[in-house]
C-alpha cells in the first residue's frame, strides 16, 4: 500500500509519468481483502489484521475512489482497535480460541488512522457535491452528514495524541527507537500536517483540531531542529525528539570483544529510518508554516 501511495504521488509530479503498473498494484491490494473480516491481513496466509497494513490501504482506496472498501476498513479499525485512552492499537490476531487484541500503541497507527479518516471525509463531501473546504449554509448540512463520523474520529485521535504522546510543550516524545520504528513518528506528523492544512475549518471543533495538529508538528520540528547535530554542514536528527542527537560512530573489530562492540555500535541515529523521520517532520512543518502564513496567521509558540 505504501508503494501504491508513493507511485500515486509521483504521478502528480510534473514531467513524471504515472507508472503503468500502478492500477494493477492497487487492484492487487484490494483483492487481498479477507472475505470473512472485510480487512487486509498483515500478509498473505496470515490471520493477523493490523493497522499498519490496513491504514495505508484505506488511504489508497479513498484516493482512488474505492470509497466503500476504504470506509469498511476504517470503520473496522475504529470499532475494534481503540483503547481506553482513545489511541489506535496495533491490530487483532485470530486464534483458535477467538480474536486476540495486540494492544501495542505506535505513532504510525495514529497517523494512518487520521489520514484514512481525512481522505474518506473529503471524498464523501465531494461525492455529495460539496466543497471540501467549507459548509456554510443549512441546506448543505444533510449532505455533509456522512462525513461527520470521520471528522469526529480525527478530532478524537488528534486529542488523544496530544494528551498521551507529547510532552508539556507539545513535542511528540513517544519512544520508537531504530529500525522500522524510526519511521513511526514521521508517519504520524505527515498526517497531522494533512489535518492542519486540509481539514475544513467550518466548525469550532475542526478549527481547534487544526490548531492542535499544527502545534504538534511545529513544536516537534522546533525541538528536533534545536537538538540536531551538524556533520559537514548537514543535520543529524535524534531518534528521541526531545533530546540531543547522538553521533553514529564506525568501530573497527580490532581487538575488542564482540560484547564490547555490540554495546557501542548500536546508535539509533545511524538508521536511515530515523533520519528520514526527521526530514518528514521538517517537510511537514514547512507545509504547515506556509499554510498559516498564506492564511494570514502565525504560530506564536509554546502557549500550553
What is the grid cell recorded at 59?
488511504
156-212 residue pLDDT tens = 999 999 999 999 999 999 999 999 999 999 999 999 999 999 999 999 999 999 999
Give residue-wise pLDDT tens across range 106-150: 999 999 999 999 999 999 999 988 875 666 565 566 667 889 999
By C-alpha distance, which of 115, 123, 121, 124 is closest to 54? 115
Confidence band (pLDDT; 50, 70, 90) for 286?
very high
pLDDT value of position 249:
77
CA distance 183 to 80: 25
What's the pTM?
Answer: 0.91
pLDDT value of residue 248: 86
User: Rounded to whole angstroms, how far apart are CA atoms 59 and 66?
Assistant: 10
Q: Which residues contact 172 (CB under 8 A, 6 or more apart)?
A: 107, 161, 165, 166, 185, 188, 189, 216, 220, 241
Q: With cut-offs at 50, 70 and 90, classify the pLDDT of residue 261.
A: low
Confirm if 249 and 240 have CB atoms less than 8 A apart.
no
Could you tell me the three cell numbers for 74? 476504517
Nearest Cα to Cα of residue 171 among 225, 220, 226, 244: 220
Q: Answer whether 173's CB lies under 8 Å from 242's CB.
A: yes
- Per-residue pLDDT of 79-110, as tens digits, reads 999 999 999 999 999 998 889 999 999 999 99
Q: Three cell numbers at 93?
A: 490476531
CA distance 134 to 201: 6
pLDDT for position 139: 59
| Domains in the chain: ranges and CATH | 2-218 (1.50.10.20)
Task: Give the pLDDT band of residue 304 (cuts 50, 70, 90).
Answer: very low
Q: How confident is the model at residue 253, as a pLDDT?
A: 47
Using pLDDT thresholds of 50, 70 and 90, give the confidence band for residue 299.
Answer: confident
Q: Using one digit for the tens of pLDDT, what is the confidence trace for 18-75? A: 889 999 999 999 999 999 999 999 998 899 999 999 999 999 999 999 999 999 999 9
The three grid cell numbers given for residue 167, joined into one nine-digit string: 510532552
Instruction: List pLDDT tens digits, range 241-260.
Output: 999 999 987 654 455 555 55
d(CA 220, CA 188): 11
Amino acid at each position: 500500500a505504501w508503494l501504491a501511495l508513493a507511485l500515486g504521488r509521483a504521478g502528480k509530479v510534473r514531467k513524471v509519468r504515472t507508472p503503468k503498473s500502478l492500477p494493477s498494484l492497487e487492484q492487487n491490494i484490494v483483492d487481498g481483502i479477507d472475505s470473512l473480516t472485510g480487512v487486509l491481513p498483515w500478509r498473505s496466509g496470515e490471520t493477523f489484521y493490523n493497522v499498519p497494513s490496513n491504514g495505508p490501504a484505506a488511504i489508497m482506496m479513498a484516493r482512488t475512489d474505492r470509497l466503500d472498501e476504504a470506509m469498511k476498513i476504517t470503520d473496522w479499525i475504529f470499532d475494534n482497535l481503540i483503547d481506553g485512552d482513545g489511541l489506535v492499537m496495533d491490530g487483532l490476531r485470530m486464534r483458535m480460541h477467538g480474536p486476540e487484541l495486540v494492544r501495542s500503541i505506535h505513532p504510525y497507527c495514529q497517523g494512518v488512522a487520521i489520514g484514512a479518516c481525512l481522505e474518506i471525509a473529503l471524498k464523501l463531501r465531494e461525492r455529495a457535491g460539496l466543497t471540501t473546504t467549507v459548509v456554510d449554509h443549512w441546506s448543505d448540512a444533510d449532505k455533509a452528514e456522512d462525513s461527520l463520523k470521520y471528522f469526529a474520529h480525527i478530532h478524537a485521535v488528534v486529542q488523544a495524541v496530544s494528551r498521551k504522546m507529547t510532552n508539556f510543550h507539545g513535542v511528540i516524545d513517544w519512544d520508537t527507537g531504530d529500525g522500522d520504528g524510526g519511521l513511526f513518528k514521521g508517519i504520524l506528523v505527515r498526517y497531522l500536517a494533512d489535518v492542519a492544512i486540509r481539514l475544513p475549518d467550518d466548525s469550532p471543533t475542526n478549527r481547534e483540531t487544526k490548531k492542535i495538529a499544527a502545534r504538534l508538528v511545529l513544536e516537534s520540528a522546533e525541538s528536533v531542529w534545536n537538538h540536531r547535530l551538524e556533520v559537514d554542514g548537514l543535520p543529524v536528527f535524534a531518534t528521541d525528539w526531545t533530546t540531543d542527537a547522538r553521533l553514529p560512530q564506525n568501530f573497527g573489530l580490532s581487538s575488542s570483544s564482540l560484547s564490547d562492540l555490540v554495546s557501542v555500535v548500536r546508535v539509533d541515529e545511524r538508521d536511515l529510518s530515523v533520519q528520514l523521520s526527521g526530514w518528514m517532520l521538517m517537510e511537514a512543518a514547512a507545509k504547515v508554516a506556509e499554510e498559516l502564513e498564506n492564511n494570514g496567521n502565525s504560530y506564536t509558540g509554546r502557549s500550553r
